[in-house]
Amino acid sequence: MRTLFDTDDYAAYCHCPRKAFLSLSGHPAGNPHEYVQAIAATAAKNASSQLRALAAAAAAAGRSVAEDLRSQADLIVRPTIQFRDLAASPVALLASKNTAPGKGVQYEPVLAAGTCRVDVEHKNRLNYIGYVLTQVQHSPPARGLVFTADGARHSVRLDTTHRAVESAIAILRTWPADSKAAEPPAVLNDHCPSCEFRVGCEEKARQADDLSLLDRVTPKLLRRYHKKGIFTVKQLSYIFRPRRSRKVPHGKTASFNVELQALAVRTGKIYLQQVPKLTRNSVELFLDIEGVPDRGSYYLFGVLVCDGKATTYHSYWADDAKHEHEAFAALVDKLTEHPDAPIYHYGRYEKQALATLEGRGRHHGVAFESVRKRLVNISASIYGKGVLPGEVQPPEGAREVSWRNVVLHRGIRSAESRLAPSLGGVLRRLLQGKAAHLQRGRLPSAAASNQRALEDICDGGLQAQQRRLCGPSKATVHGGSRRDSQEVRRHTEVRER
């Protein structure tokens, strides 16, 4: 176990204690995710250009921190600050302009980001550097600076109490050098898709049948179940209690039930809490939009037109802000060619993107209003109503960021070949990839059955699917206790697929 802690260790601990543990104990890691690599490369480039821009850098570079602190230079470039077992390496230290008279020069840490906005990780890193700097200069810096990839400089207020940093460091120091017992359990979380230890952790979580494999299991919910002695998906599946009435009250939509999800995973069945209702039409449009969130830009618009006889795909690319406007105009024109067709999309992203783009230009007026009214969020029609067996594919988020990486670093056109198959099957992507949000983890066979089920529900077979799912045949539930089966049969609209 390494005993010198640095900024990366603290940042890793903030994401996930297990990540910090594995990193400190020298556990073999996989390759960093493409997106992480891309962001790191952009951050390094950004740091160099920002430092070049600071004219005083040349004069101050190369000196030791102690020397600079004594000489009270205005700028210290790429210092390594060390205090006992803690080390911190900001891009630079800048002399604060708000130092009280007679206190000497006080420094503020500077970081370079690979994104265009300041996020929680930058704040965590600055807080850690601020803590180590406080030990050296005997005064806490009130703020730090982040240079973002768009050239902007952001001031970040630092936590001068250092409580979070001190408690994390106290835990890091307690991890013994050679003890496996101290290894934090693999609890999957939002950081996993971009973590270099994801393969091993997913395997561990699956072996342990950990609750974090399920979607929507928050740390708070996990603690609640752990207090009740429930640690596995299988255990959770036995505590599902269906509602007394078969019917959902009018106007009320069924909410996602993690216990029913666990039951679906154990039995391999599809459970319907409420039959999904979708508006169908002879001509239907499926919309998908890709963007770079931290830049607030959109680079690809895809439309699948299904007119009952044929399906055609249309994609509109935007290399920059000007082209973004043109691509958006072309998209609105395409969507208005079929004024009565519903426009399906998965999740809120497309609706928000369209509203943002219209807000930027305000050129389409009536045409845009007609588009806005026809938007149908498939997710809202399915989510919580149908519970499918199977686990999500974590690379969904990772795939998105990886595409973004390709766009950012290899150019828009080179990404086209990777995206084309996806655009070629916008519907498939909507259903296959994004609908798999139901769980984290991976279970290919179940994912395939999910896809079939969703395609049936959403792709022309709705009526048939409803008949099959809710028809006269008796419901059957396999697995679980007899009491479970009877209860489920009595109270829920469970239909064998």
Contact between 195 and ligand SF4 per CB under 6 A = yes
Q: Which stretch binds ligand SF4 (CB under 6 A): 10-18, 302-310, 355-363, 488-496?
A: 10-18
What phi and psi values does residue 318 have, to the nearest 5 degrees? Answer: -130, 115
CB of 189 to ligand SF4, least distance (A): 6
Contacts of 8 (CB under 8 A, 6+ apart): 23
Dihedral sign from CA coordinates of 429, 430, 431, 436: positive
Contact between 236 and ligand SF4 per CB under 6 A = no
Q: Which stretch binds ligand SF4 (CB under 6 A): 12-20, 129-137, 321-329, 414-422?
A: 12-20
Which two structure tokens, joined as six digits, stand for 214? 């399920």
Contact between 213 and ligand SF4 per CB under 6 A = no
Mutual orientation of helices 120-137 and 163-174 as an angle, nearest 10°? 90
Which two structure tokens, joined as six digits, stand for 425? 């099957």
Contact between 201 and ligand SF4 per CB under 6 A = yes
Contact between 172 and ligand SF4 per CB under 6 A = no
Cβ nearer to ligand SF4, comparing 191 with 372 = 191
Contact between 188 and ligand SF4 per CB under 6 A = yes
Angle at 158 between CA 157 and CA 162, to 5 degrees: 160
Q: How far apart are CA 14 and CA 187, in angstroms?
A: 14
Contact between 437 and ligand SF4 per CB under 6 A = no
Cβ nearer to ligand SF4, comparing 14 with 76 = 14
Contacting residue, 175, 197, 346, 349, with ligand SF4 by CB under 6 A:
197
Contact between 192 and ligand SF4 per CB under 6 A = yes
Scan residues 331-350 and list those touching ligand SF4 (CB under 6 A): none
Contacting residue, 93, 118, 172, 186, with ligand SF4 by CB under 6 A:
186
Q: Closest Cα to residue 5, out of 109, 84, 113?
A: 84
CB of 398 to ligand SF4, least distance (A): 11
Contacting residue, 27, 117, 191, 468, with ligand SF4 by CB under 6 A:
191
Cβ nearer to ligand SF4, comparing 172 with 187 = 187
Which two structure tokens, joined as six digits, stand for 400? 């998105």
CB of 183 to ligand SF4, least distance (A): 10
Angle at 301 between CA 299 and CA 288, to 5 degrees: 120
Contact between 440 and ligand SF4 per CB under 6 A = no
Which two structure tokens, joined as six digits, stand for 346? 């998965």
Contact between 436 and ligand SF4 per CB under 6 A = no
Contacting residue, 13, 18, 210, 242, with ligand SF4 by CB under 6 A:
18
CB of 12 to ligand SF4, least distance (A): 8
CB of 184 to ligand SF4, least distance (A): 8
Contact between 399 and ligand SF4 per CB under 6 A = no
Contact between 19 and ligand SF4 per CB under 6 A = yes
CB of 468 to ligand SF4, least distance (A): 38
Cβ nearer to ligand SF4, comparing 13 with 286 = 13
Tell me the one-letter amino acid at 328: F
Residues near ligand SF4 (CB under 6 A), total? 15
- Matching residue, tokens 């006889």: 309
Q: Closest Cα to residue 222, out of 212, 208, 213, 235?
A: 212
Q: Which stretch binds ligand SF4 (CB under 6 A): 142-150, 153-161, 195-203, 310-318?
A: 195-203
Q: Which stretch binds ligand SF4 (CB under 6 A): 190-198, 253-261, 381-389, 479-487?
A: 190-198
CB of 190 to ligand SF4, least distance (A): 8
Cβ-contact 467, 444 below 8 angstroms = no
Cβ-count burial 89-109 (b if 16+ within 10 Å, e if not) = bbbbbbbbeeeeeeeebbbbb
Contact between 217 and ligand SF4 per CB under 6 A = no
Q: How far apart are CA 442 and CA 203, in angstroms?
A: 9
Cβ-contact 236, 211 below 8 angstroms = yes
Contacts of 309 (CB under 8 A, 6+ apart): none
Contact between 189 and ligand SF4 per CB under 6 A = yes
SS3 call for 71 = helix
Q: Where are the beta strands (DSSP E) in 359-455?
A: 375-377, 386-387
Contact between 16 and ligand SF4 per CB under 6 A = yes
Residue 232: DSSP 8-state: B
Contact between 198 and ligand SF4 per CB under 6 A = yes
- Matching residue, tokens 């003890």: 179
Cβ-contact 40, 196 below 8 angstroms = no
Strand order in the sheet with 386-387: 386-387, 271-272, 493-494
Q: Which stretch binds ligand SF4 (CB under 6 A): 181-189, 305-313, 340-348, 433-441?
A: 181-189
CB of 187 to ligand SF4, least distance (A): 6
Rule CB under 6 A: which residues touch ligand SF4? Answer: 15-16, 18-19, 22, 186-189, 191-192, 195, 197-198, 201
